[in-house]
Amino acid sequence: MRGRIQLAARRGLATAAAAIFLSGCSSLPSLPFFGGGAEKPKPAELQPNPATLGIRSGWTSRIGPVAFPLEAHVSGRQLALASSDGTVAMLDAATGRDLWRASVGANIAAGVGSDGSTAAVVTTANELVALEGGRVLWRQKLPAQAFTAPLVAGKRVFVLAADRSVSAFDGATGRPLWTQSRPGEPLVLRQAGVLLAVGDTLVAGQGGRLAGLNPLNGSVRWEAPIATPRGTNDVERLVDLVAPVSRVGNSVCTRAYQAAIGCVDASRGTLAWTRPARGTEGVGGDERLVVGTESDDRIVAWRRDNGERAWVHDKLLHRGLTAPLVVGSSVVVGDGTGLLHVLSREDGSLRNRVATDGSALAAAPVVAGSTLVAVTRNGGIYAFVPQ
């Protein structure tokens, strides 16, 4: 969910300023807000709920309040979550039952990543912490802050730091294995970036490029440009790839913050297409579509094969939308009042709307099996089952 203040005047510049940190050290000071007394745009009034798709409440649970860029992680029927106060929990997504719950003893800045066995988070003290079965396995100090959930894969833990470096650690011991750095831009986003595994390649967002790395040593196999920095100052020139991404096989589609949407063949590192797009949240998708929310909360669907627009939904403007989740015949987005809006994948029309606890969604909704799960800033965990 949005980790910044939304302003009306010069929205791109104001939104960026509220989300940006200075880079280059382990403790990054926040930039001042821009925009002065500009009024926040009025959220669109909600259209009547047609309820043409049946949705029933499944279960509810709680975790502590979430004030960081949460990435809920699904592995089979297991759902890994974390809260700002240091709580990490593994839940059964079908029932909401705790499989285990533990504390890392410090506030959390990024998380959570998991392979279903090991879970990993990053604390505000720049510690990477790995847990298994409700106990802390190891801790490792990081040289820079991280806002992206660690990736746990292949018995290793990978970290994308705010300075755009990528590091690998042994999953059992925490021993550092390698670090791959790149020349740093003066500003970085305090927002989750892109880090995932595709086959035997580690795929990371570094600036406006998607990079394919060798997970064994960090060497760069390929780079694909999604967006190029433009503008007259550092804020306007900021280009970073943001989570979540839409992956179908080797096709990885991602958003460059306030700049573009693009898709890459991650087996070869070839760029399929890019299109200008002014959004700040990541994207969802399936084999047919890539769907994203623009800065004004217009929801846009692009055809995955060629990047052409399929449809636009403009009935939820300025409601603080999350990145979309595309599941089955529906597109699901959360908003700043805790509502989940379920749209038709075919044309974007509203199918249903369900409520949580009234606080903003902390992350894009996720699906585990047949269960849709949403987590709020107040720490509510809500499961829904489509009928």
- Taking the whole predicted model, whether its pTM rises above 0.85 is answered as yes
pLDDT in tens, 237-253: 788 999 999 999 999 99
Fold adopted by 44-65+311-387? Thrombin, subunit H (2.40.10)
Predicted confidence at residue 17, as pLDDT, reads: 44
- Provide the pLDDT confidence category of residue 280 given band limits of 50, 70 and 90: very high
Helix (H/G/I), strand (E/B), else coil: 17: helix
What is the residue extent of each domain of the chain? 1-42, 44-65+311-387, 70-190
pLDDT of 34 > 60? The answer is no
Residue from 138, 122, 18 nearest 68 by CA: 122
C-alpha distances (whole Å) from 316 to each of 1, 135, 185, 340 are 15, 42, 34, 11
Mean pLDDT computed over 2-7:
35
Q: What percent of the chain has pLDDT over 90?
A: 80
H-type alpha helices, the chain = 11-19, 234-237
- CA atoms of 20 and 234, how far apart (whole Å): 11
pLDDT of 203 > 90? The answer is yes
pLDDT of 187 > 90? The answer is no
- Provide the pLDDT confidence category of residue 236 given band limits of 50, 70 and 90: confident
pLDDT in tens, 141-172: 998 999 999 999 999 999 999 988 999 999 99
pLDDT in tens, 250-266: 999 999 999 999 999 99
Lowest mean pLDDT among 3-17, 97-111, 304-318: 3-17
First to last CA, the chain: 27
Whether 70-190 and 44-65+311-387 are alike in CATH topology: the answer is no
- CA atoms of 278 and 186, how far apart (whole Å): 21
Lowest mean pLDDT among 29-38, 80-89, 215-224, 282-291: 29-38
What is the average pLDDT score of the chain?
Answer: 90
CATH number corresponding to 70-190? 2.40.128.630
- Provide the pLDDT confidence category of residue 327 given band limits of 50, 70 and 90: very high
pLDDT of 23 > 70? The answer is no
